[in-house]
Amino acid sequence: MSTRTRITQVATVGIRVSDQRKATGFYVGTLGFEVRRDVPFGDGRWIEVAPPGAATTLALVPEGLPTGIRLTTLDVDADHADLRARGVDADAEVLRMGPAVPPMSAVRDPDGNHRILVEHS
Protein backbone atom coordinates (compact mmCIF):
# COMPACT_ATOMS: atom_id res chain seq x y z
CA MET A 1 0.00 0.00 0.00
CA SER A 2 1.45 3.34 -1.02
CA THR A 3 0.57 6.47 0.90
CA ARG A 4 1.30 10.01 -0.11
CA THR A 5 2.81 12.16 2.61
CA ARG A 6 3.31 15.81 3.31
CA ILE A 7 6.22 14.98 5.64
CA THR A 8 9.36 16.45 4.12
CA GLN A 9 12.23 15.72 6.50
CA VAL A 10 13.50 14.60 9.85
CA ALA A 11 13.79 18.09 11.28
CA THR A 12 14.87 17.77 14.89
CA VAL A 13 15.96 15.12 17.35
CA GLY A 14 15.20 16.15 20.92
CA ILE A 15 17.72 15.08 23.54
CA ARG A 16 17.36 15.51 27.30
CA VAL A 17 19.82 17.88 28.96
CA SER A 18 20.08 18.86 32.62
CA ASP A 19 21.44 22.34 31.88
CA GLN A 20 20.72 24.00 28.53
CA ARG A 21 23.45 26.61 28.90
CA LYS A 22 26.10 23.98 29.67
CA ALA A 23 24.86 21.73 26.84
CA THR A 24 24.87 24.64 24.38
CA GLY A 25 28.45 25.42 25.41
CA PHE A 26 29.47 21.83 24.72
CA TYR A 27 27.81 21.52 21.32
CA VAL A 28 28.81 24.99 20.12
CA GLY A 29 32.14 25.53 21.90
CA THR A 30 33.49 21.98 21.85
CA LEU A 31 31.90 20.32 18.82
CA GLY A 32 31.69 23.42 16.63
CA PHE A 33 27.91 23.34 16.11
CA GLU A 34 25.93 26.53 15.56
CA VAL A 35 22.81 27.71 17.36
CA ARG A 36 19.91 27.51 14.90
CA ARG A 37 17.09 28.51 17.25
CA ASP A 38 16.99 29.96 20.74
CA VAL A 39 13.54 31.26 21.64
CA PRO A 40 11.33 31.50 24.72
CA PHE A 41 9.28 28.35 25.22
CA GLY A 42 6.89 28.06 28.16
CA ASP A 43 8.83 28.90 31.29
CA GLY A 44 12.17 28.22 29.61
CA ARG A 45 13.82 28.19 26.20
CA TRP A 46 13.72 26.12 23.03
CA ILE A 47 17.28 25.69 21.80
CA GLU A 48 18.34 23.88 18.64
CA VAL A 49 21.94 23.33 17.52
CA ALA A 50 23.45 21.66 14.45
CA PRO A 51 26.69 21.23 12.59
CA PRO A 52 27.15 23.99 10.00
CA GLY A 53 25.17 23.12 6.86
CA ALA A 54 23.25 20.22 8.43
CA ALA A 55 19.52 19.96 7.76
CA THR A 56 18.64 18.14 10.99
CA THR A 57 19.06 19.85 14.36
CA LEU A 58 19.38 18.68 17.95
CA ALA A 59 16.89 20.22 20.37
CA LEU A 60 18.41 20.60 23.83
CA VAL A 61 15.33 19.65 25.82
CA PRO A 62 15.09 20.41 29.55
CA GLU A 63 13.47 18.02 32.02
CA GLY A 64 9.70 17.79 31.70
CA LEU A 65 9.49 18.23 27.93
CA PRO A 66 9.25 15.33 25.47
CA THR A 67 12.35 14.22 23.63
CA GLY A 68 12.31 12.27 20.38
CA ILE A 69 12.16 12.91 16.69
CA ARG A 70 10.29 15.82 15.13
CA LEU A 71 9.24 15.56 11.49
CA THR A 72 8.48 18.54 9.30
CA THR A 73 5.17 18.53 7.44
CA LEU A 74 3.70 20.94 4.94
CA ASP A 75 0.23 20.69 6.52
CA VAL A 76 -0.04 19.35 10.06
CA ASP A 77 -3.85 19.64 10.13
CA ALA A 78 -4.26 17.51 6.98
CA ASP A 79 -1.70 14.92 8.13
CA HIS A 80 -3.28 14.79 11.59
CA ALA A 81 -6.75 14.20 10.11
CA ASP A 82 -5.49 11.62 7.60
CA LEU A 83 -3.55 9.66 10.20
CA ARG A 84 -6.40 9.61 12.72
CA ALA A 85 -8.80 8.49 9.98
CA ARG A 86 -6.46 5.57 9.27
CA GLY A 87 -6.43 4.55 12.94
CA VAL A 88 -3.00 5.91 13.89
CA ASP A 89 -2.56 6.67 17.59
CA ALA A 90 -2.37 10.47 17.40
CA ASP A 91 -3.20 13.31 19.74
CA ALA A 92 -6.88 14.28 19.79
CA GLU A 93 -6.08 17.76 18.48
CA VAL A 94 -3.28 19.72 16.85
CA LEU A 95 -1.39 21.68 19.50
CA ARG A 96 -1.26 25.44 18.97
CA MET A 97 0.91 27.40 21.38
CA GLY A 98 0.78 30.83 19.76
CA PRO A 99 2.33 32.67 16.82
CA ALA A 100 5.97 32.02 17.78
CA VAL A 101 5.51 28.22 17.88
CA PRO A 102 4.42 26.25 14.81
CA PRO A 103 1.38 23.96 15.12
CA MET A 104 2.27 20.36 15.97
CA SER A 105 0.78 16.98 16.74
CA ALA A 106 2.17 13.85 18.36
CA VAL A 107 1.71 10.46 16.74
CA ARG A 108 2.80 7.09 18.04
CA ASP A 109 4.13 4.24 15.93
CA PRO A 110 3.07 0.60 16.52
CA ASP A 111 5.77 0.27 19.22
CA GLY A 112 4.55 3.36 21.08
CA ASN A 113 7.43 5.61 20.00
CA HIS A 114 6.37 9.25 19.90
CA ARG A 115 7.00 11.33 16.79
CA ILE A 116 6.04 14.98 16.61
CA LEU A 117 4.73 16.38 13.33
CA VAL A 118 5.64 20.07 13.15
CA GLU A 119 4.29 22.30 10.41
CA HIS A 120 7.01 23.93 8.34
CA SER A 121 7.11 27.65 9.01
Is 2 a member of any domain? no
Confidence class of residue 59 from pLDDT cuts 50, 70 and 90? Answer: very high
- Whole-number Cα distances in Å, 59 to 12, 44, 46, 55, 83: 6, 13, 7, 13, 25
Q: Which residues in 92-116 are b (16+ Cβ under 10 Å) and which e? A: eebeeeeeebbbbbbbeeeeeebbb
Q: What is the pLDDT of residue 112?
A: 87
End-to-end CA distance of the chain: 30
Which structural domain range is residue 42 located in?
7-119
Q: What is the pLDDT of residue 9?
A: 92
Question: Mean pLDDT across the chain, nearest whole number?
Answer: 91
Confidence class of residue 2 from pLDDT cuts 50, 70 and 90? Answer: low
Confidence class of residue 66 from pLDDT cuts 50, 70 and 90? Answer: confident
Is 111 a member of any domain? yes
Is 87 a member of any domain? yes
Q: What is the pLDDT of residue 94?
A: 96
| CATH code of the domain containing 60 | 3.10.180.10
Q: Mean pLDDT over residues 31-53, rounded? A: 92
